[in-house]
A and B are shown apart, each in its own frame.
Chain A
């Protein structure tokens, strides 16, 4: 069965849809957690610590977190590899372009590929910045995420990178969520409007929720 799925374009799209939904679910939790930054350093840092103790006593310290990380890495890799392979195939299937050019498809559809690349690069930067601290400016301190976040959004490029990535995320989700529903066969004529609405609301909420953090830092509400 795995072979059938992976070898088929329809199957690979299913992999993209499922991995995309896994990431989407994670993002919702991530976004809600982020908003705790508005309740001060202590609560935010405590929340970050709690994430590491999640599942205790059955789980050891950080086990749950690592489990989530593994699932996410698998999802990202599956999503990216499928996207890459499908895109290569799509480009090969349409080798010559029309001489008469026309603006086609909605903005979200056309930007799925570029948006995906932007998000991929963002994730790398985001981890190096706020998880490992490798490229962090202003003295990264593990266990002190509140300060780290404030540091990041105190630089102009930190804000620019983040804002661009979150806009890309919104567009990606807007088409991606609806598209995943079609790929998984969940769409129907009667449900189409509802699905499109959910996609738009999700995209809007996540983008707004995530952007609220740098906005908070920029406006000085979070400092």
Chain B
């Protein structure tokens, strides 16, 4: 396959960026999208040019590092992570636009690499259960109804890639934040911090400069792990409940 790539190039956070055009040839349909970029980078290095910087690590769709907007879609045309996207999803002669996640809470570091530390700070605001090592009771002391355990797991699957923010027209982090809140708030282990967790994490989300939710649903469509849009509804409910409860205290 022969392809034309238009790639966002930006030297560093402070520099202006622009799209640059590259041609790549000899691309196999069995290559992953990132292997296609590897091929381009090998050529660029030998030509003495700066290779395209992009985040990636596990390349099995679980670490959440890879983060490319491909032809306007976060993670490209298939519902998966960029690293699990294969070139067979494209055709010979295609022109492919590759851009970084766009959100003011995700500033560009270089080229296609963005800074997602805002996500870490949202978790730091309350996305945990305060149980110091050694303080845990016997695991079977508290049974968890299977539907609750499954609900928790479904939300705990979030890989923190940020595709939801990249796809959202408002640059909102509602789906990410709600996934963690729903994971922990439904479990008995998360119950003691149920109110503070949702209030603090939502406050931190706002603090980081993410936008608000207009329920456009783009986040859930882009999510490679299929976190449902309804996750946001559940978080809203938790937030309202917590606001009422805390006001009564």
Contacts and interface: CB of A to CB of B under 8 A. Distances in A.
A177 to B, nearest CB: 11
B72 A182 contact: no
B102 A185 contact: no
A184 interface: yes
Interface in B216-238: 216-218, 228-230, 232-238
Contacts of B171: 90, 93-94
A48 B230 CA distance: 43
Given A5-B243, A188-B230, A192-B230, A96 B212 contact: no
B215 A182 contact: yes
A interface: dominant SS: helix
A193 interface: no
Contacts, number: 138
Q: How large, as a class, is the contact surface on chain A?
A: 35 or more
Interface string B175-213: 000000000000000000000000100110110011111
B73 interface: yes
A93 B104 contact: yes
A90 B236 contact: no
A192 B220 CA distance: 15
A5 to B, nearest CB: 6
B44 interface: no
Contact of B230 (A10, A105, A106, A187): A187
Given A9-B211, A94-B169, A185-B240, 4 more contacts: A4-B243, A5-B243, A105-B218, A181-B233
9 smallest beta-carbon distances between A and B, as pairs = A185-B237, A93-B211, A90-B170, A93-B171, A102-B72, A1-B247, A94-B171, A9-B212, A100-B97
